[in-house]
Amino acid sequence: MNCKYLCFLKYMLFFNLVTASQENFKGPSFTTEPPSQVDFSNSTGAKIECSATGVPAPIVTWVRADGSTVSDVAKLRQVLRGGTLKFYPFFAEDYRQDIHAVVYKCVATNPVGTIVSRDVKVRGEISKNDKKSPTLL
């Protein structure tokens, strides 16, 4: 994970530590865990929800299977506040294997610990009526 992410995470964890009583700390647990497979059409897009509870409130992020942090990609993918991973509808020529055919994981972290969701295999498919084919990477 990159320094920018870790520095932000450390700041948020410190802030939450100051406002919570150690006696009441509780590790994160998923309230909504994402499914293991998400298939969607380029004409519809998709939202994958992930949420967790704990004391202090966990920070929910997304990573790829290799552990790298998932970030926004204009008009293709966005990490929403609250833990939802959104895939926008896209044109066939905008297909990206590194976005639309990837294994993702949801991560929830607080000072007590970290939990990681099951693998989420994402597959964005080009509609049959869309005559343009994605460029292979």
pLDDT tens sequence across 63-81: 999 999 999 999 999 999 9
pLDDT tens sequence across 94-110: 999 999 999 999 999 99
Return d(Cα 51, Cα 63) in angstroms, integer.
14
Longest Cα–Cα distance in the chain: 60
Domain ranges of the chain: 24-125
Q: Across the strands, what pairs with 61?
A: 107
| CATH class of residue range 24-125 | mainly beta
Return d(Cα 51, Cα 83) in angstroms, integer.
6
Check residue 133 and give its pLDDT.
Answer: 46
Residue 111 near residue 54 (C-beta atoms within 8 A): no
Return d(Cα 43, Cα 8) in angstroms, integer.
35
Return d(Cα 113, Cα 26) in angstroms, integer.
9
Q: Are strands 77-79 and 120-125 parallel, antiparallel or unpaired?
A: unpaired
Check residue 120 and give its pLDDT.
Answer: 99
